[in-house]
Amino acid sequence: MIGAGVAGGRVAVVGAGVAGLTAAYELGKVGARCDVYERWPGLGGQAATFDVGGGRLLERYYHHLFTSDLHIAGLYRELGMPDGIEWRTSSVAFFAGGASHPFSTPLDLLRFSPMTPLSRVRLGVAVLNLQYRHPDVSPFEGITAKEWILRSVGRSGWEAMWGPLLRGKFGDRAEDISMAWLWSKLTLRRQVRGQEARGEVLGYPRGSFEPLFRALAGAIEEREGRVLIDRPAARIAGTAGGRFELTPGAAGSFRRGHDPQRFEPGGEPQRYDAVLATVPNDVFEALLDPGLVEGVGEAYLEGLRSIEYHAALCLVLELDRQFSPYYWTNVGDRELPFVGLVEQTNFVEPERYGGRHFLYVANYTAQGDPLLALSPDELLDRYEAGLAKVNRAFSRDWVRQRWLFLEPSAQPIVTVGYERRIPPLETGVPGLVLANTTQVYPEDRGTNYAVRLGQEAARAVGARLAVR
């Protein structure tokens, strides 16, 4: 519960992603007046959608929900959309050795021929052991996932399966990833029993994630808040009375990239009692004027800088036919220049998209990787041979349309000892709060945890407003 004294407090929320919208919604419920500033000309941040034509919406980056995603499910119910998420059985494959191996059920795993039979059995035992006997993450915080896999499953388990899976998400940092991260994946995400023993059940919101964002924006506006898209924050300064001034950037600033220092000012500075930033660490630091840099202090900023992110690069293809029988294909073959294929229309039926077919070609890379500088067509040139390895019949004329999306700070790199580097929400300057994906731990960052984080951030801001 947020205290009663927040009524009438003015709050700037920077970012209309899931965390920012959730926080502004929560603060609005207790009487704070929030202005949500968003750089992109749309809502939803990393889960934002785009129109693929005919008003049909698709996320820029593939998105689904897990049955363990209780925070976002609760938000749907609270917003009067109890049937907003549809649950579907997913189909997963693992591409290795020139073939796609089914990878959905425990039986598939037992038949997964790239791994030795013994290591398949050891993997099953190790995962069940984690799920039933290790409810606490702390024993896993001091070791890497690789160490645990080598010890519990063996080399074949690392080389044939977990190494490629972790490389798919963390690139050349795969060997450094904390076992805490994998512990949460293996224990929280899926319990291998009941209906899920027959294939993982995943959620997808009816009509995309957009209805959720619109419902949140509507609820914020009903409570005297404003949601300002294509209106970034360019600068945040402190005032003598312990308040804040936010200078908005001009419309169209998103074309200048992510660094707010490159945005043209787009209006007079606005005064607020508190500021909640939901942007990546480097953007947060670049927003602060010298006085706030000093107020936040070098130790906090050093902590932010110590966290590395990888970028997500997502090529979305509209194809004139189905590409594979699977929703999700993990690519374990290092010769292929992408890490995953996500065929949306093997998850949500093509009829929902007017009979069209959509395939995401997924990549995570280090920031600064030359791949990130390619145009959509250059990237497709680079990917074409790899796509034809997965489906030998594939030809470029199957591609009807293509879009390219790039998220520089998509994935925090969760190495051993990460828990000690997580930045506190409170920045050290009273009323200036930071809430972003680096603070989601030990779970993998996701929309569900962005809801939880938004709720926590609202409590932190509310506590400050209450003592004004």
Ligand X SMILES: Cc1cc2nc3c(=O)[nH]c(=O)nc-3n(C[C@H](O)[C@H](O)[C@H](O)COP(=O)(O)OP(=O)(O)OC[C@H]3O[C@@H](n4cnc5c(N)ncnc54)[C@H](O)[C@@H]3O)c2cc1C
In the complex, which residues of this chain contact ligand X (CB under 6 A)?
14-20, 37-40, 45-47, 61-65, 232-233, 260, 278-279, 283, 312, 314, 407, 410, 436-437, 445-448, 450
Cβ at position 407, least distance to ligand X in Å: 5
In this structure, are residues 396 and 159 in contact, taking their beta carbons and an 8 Å threshold?
no
Nearest distance from residue 375's CB to ligand X, in Å? 19
Whole-angstrom Cα Rg for the chain = 22
- Smallest gap from Cβ 314 to ligand X, in A, equals 6
Q: Quick one: 148 or 338, whose CB is closer to ligand X?
A: 338
For strand 49-51 and strand 33-37, is the pairing parallel, antiparallel, or unpaired? unpaired
Closer residue to ligand X in complex, CB, 123/362:
362
Q: Token digits for 39?
A: 């750089």
- Give the residue with the Cβ less far from ligand X, 156 or 448: 448
Q: Which residues of 161-193 are buried (b: 16+ CB within 10 A; e: fewer)?
A: bbbbbbbbbbbebbebbbbbbbbbbbbeebeee
The minimum distance between CB 150 and ligand X, in angstroms, equals: 28
* Beta carbon nearer to ligand X, 115 or 406: 406
* DSSP 8-class letter at 247: E
Among residues 171 and 446, whose Cβ is nearest to ligand X? 446
What is the C-alpha to C-alpha distance for residues 303 and 311, in angstroms, rounded to an integer?
20
Shortest separation between residue 395's beta carbon and ligand X, angstroms: 26
What is the C-alpha to C-alpha distance for residues 30 and 108, in angstroms, rounded to an integer? Answer: 50
Q: Which is nearer to ligand X, 24 or 336 (CB)?
A: 24
- φ/ψ of residue 370, rounded to 5: -60, -25
- Quote the tokens at residue 266: 């787009």
If phi > 0 it is left, if psi is from -120 to 50 it is alpha, else beta; for residue 51 that is beta
Q: How far is the CB of 390 from ligand X (least distance, A)?
A: 19
Q: Least separation, in Å, of the C-beta of 165 and ligand X?
A: 15
What gap in Å lies between CA 87 and CA 78, rounded to an integer? 19
**φ, ψ of residue 208 in degrees (nearest 5):** 85, 180
Sign of CA dihedral 299, 300, 303, 309: negative
Neighbours of 98 (CB within 10 A): 10
CB of 278 to ligand X, least distance (A): 5
Instruction: Name the packing angle between helices 18-29 and 447-466 (round to 10°).
Output: 40
Q: Which H or E run contains 453?
A: helix 447-466
* Residue placing its CB nearer to ligand X in the complex, 260 or 431: 260
314 or 429, CB closer to ligand X?
314
